[in-house]
Amino acid sequence: MARRKIGKDISGVLVLDKPQGISSSAAVQKSKRLLSAKKVGHTGALDPLATGILPLCFGEATKFSQYLLNSDKKYAVQIKLGVSTNTGDADGEIIEKRSSEGIDEEKLESALVFFRGEVDQVPSMFSAIKHNGQPLYKLARQGIEVDRPSRRINIYSNELKALHNDILDLEIHCSKGTYIRTIAQELGDMLGCGAHVISLRRTMAGPYTEQDLVSFDQLEDTLDAEGALDALLLPISSAVHEWPQVKLSESTAYYIRQGQAVIVPHAPTSGWVRLEEIVPDSPTRFIGVGEILDDGRVAPRRMVSGG
């Protein structure tokens, strides 16, 4: 029997520029295959229609992927007025056509007010949310619709960038769990003409922006280039780069690694923190994340193995 090939121990974050037409899972598997990596996972799926930022966590970075799942996102979206689809995007079947004549920027601005700030949103039946263990989109494809509780989301900004006949461009900055297709559907209903997403690009996910993007072509180029992969992978700590930093001496870091809470002078008084060990004559070393306890001690919560 042939011995199963074991992947490489690669650790870091790859900010993939997901192309249109493939699922996030397929993008993960292709990246894993190209880099011969042992372990990789994404941090928040994009629909096949969507492109843009899909952070992939390799190796030890997978321990911190949950924090990226909870991060805010930004999108550039194009919406077509006058046509409704069953999925809310261009991959679905057209279910209704209505006139969008007379809808101008003034009417759009008046409607967009209702899609800013804290709002309750009912997830699409074509989302990956599970109902009794089954993804909703699988039920929807069987013609089954179930009740979905609304979720409180925060739309920090929702700006009209352009309107060309029946096509409008929006830039949306929102909290986790926001469904852009649902915004398009509800906006179309409010305008009385229906609407659906025709293109969607994620331009920010947590700390990552389009400046960090790596394409599949760039990945393929690394296969024959010595050391090129290191230039494409961001450090594990980038996943929590925006968190407050707590610097630890070598001895204090030792106790943290043993799972013990420690007192650190001048540490924040609450919340989650990024743990960095002080290394003589070198940059600090990221060893994990911690949480400030009620008594002011820093408790380890997620640690890098061997860090």
C-beta pairs of 217-220 under 8 Å, 24+ apart in sequence:
219/14, 219/31, 219/34, 219/35, 220/34
Q: Is 47 a catalytic residue?
A: yes
CA dist list (Å): 192 to 85, 92, 152, 154: 15, 20, 24, 24
Inter-helix orientation angle 180-191/105-112, to 10°: 120
Beta strand pairing call for 12-18 and 40-42: unpaired
Query: Do residues 87 and 124 touch, judged by C-beta distance below 8 A?
Result: yes
DSSP string for residues in 184-214 = HHHHHHHHTS-EEEEEEEEEEETTEEGGG-B
CA-based nearest residue to 277, from 247, 304, 299: 247
What contacts 226, CB < 8 A, 6 or more positions away? none
Q: Which two tokens stand for residue 151?
A: 């979720």
State the catalytic residue, choosing from 17, 47, 89, 212: 47
Q: Is 93 exposed, middle or buried (0-12, 13-18, 19+ CB in 10 A)?
A: exposed
Query: Do residues 172 and 77 touch, judged by C-beta distance below 8 A?
Result: yes
Q: What beta strand segments (E) does 252-297 contain? A: 272-277, 285-292
Sign of CA dihedral 214, 159, 106, 180: positive
The residues annotated with a catalytic role in the active site are 47
